[in-house]
Amino acid sequence: MCGRFTIAFDLADLSDELGLSEIPLNWEPRYNVAPGQPVLAATDAVSRKAEWLRWGLIPSWAKDPAIGYKLINARAETLTEKPSFRQAFQKRRCLIFADGFYEWQKPAFGKGKTQPYYFKRKDGRPFAFAGLWEIWQPDGEVEPIKTCTIITTSANEVVSPVHERMPVMLLKEDAWNWVKGGQGVELPRLLAPFNPALMETYPVGPYVSKPGYEAAICRSNIEP
């Protein structure tokens, strides 16, 4: 699964890498994005505007918004089967912007502490997670909430020593094809593991395990 990530890139790099037309003015670098928090995303391949969505998908039919904490990820292999994701997969695909993510390696033989690792592109540039989005509004008196989930796939050679799953990572052309879909776009092809030759990883300290702790040290390499 993907339960933490970073959006600590330079805004000019994000605009250049993903071709965004507009980014919210209240943006600031974040080093430990957690479920339930705002994430920078885009839902429209025409306008290409970035906006804030809440991480943790709340289906339109849900009665309790707490379900969003259980739907922070969606498995690529079962998008067409799960009621929570099926309609969004057909009509509401999005991009969630990041420049790295964390996964925790379980201790050998089930004893000891888990070790967090940070994963990113070798060149340090930003990218997009493939995602789905929904609008949740329980009644007309409550402001509608736009929420999202990150799609995961099988881990590539870089991630697999730490975790069996990884988020779907997309670069510019594939990213916007994912959002717009349409004739000639093979959506399942876009949900493949990212090219391992373009990624790197290293262990980080325990700070990232604390939701709400946002210092840059969260992603600092602790290797000697």
- Show which residues are catalytic: 2, 103
Neighbour order of strands in the sheet with 4-7 = 30-33, 4-7, 100-105, 115-121, 199-203
CA angle 182, 186, 188 (to 5 degrees): 125
Taking Cα atoms as reference points, which of 210, 222, 223 lies closest to residue 32? 210
Q: Do the Cβ atoms of 221 and 205 come closer than 8 Å?
A: no
Placement of tokens 């998908």 in the chain: 57
* Whole-number Å distance between alpha carbons of 105 and 115: 5
CA angle 146, 185, 45 (to 5 degrees): 40
Q: Strand (E) positions, 176-219? A: 199-203
* Whole-number Å distance between alpha carbons of 28 and 143: 24
Q: In this structure, what are the phi and psi dihedrals at residue 105, rounded to the nearest 5 degrees?
A: -90, 125
Hey, what are 82's tokens?
Answer: 């799960």
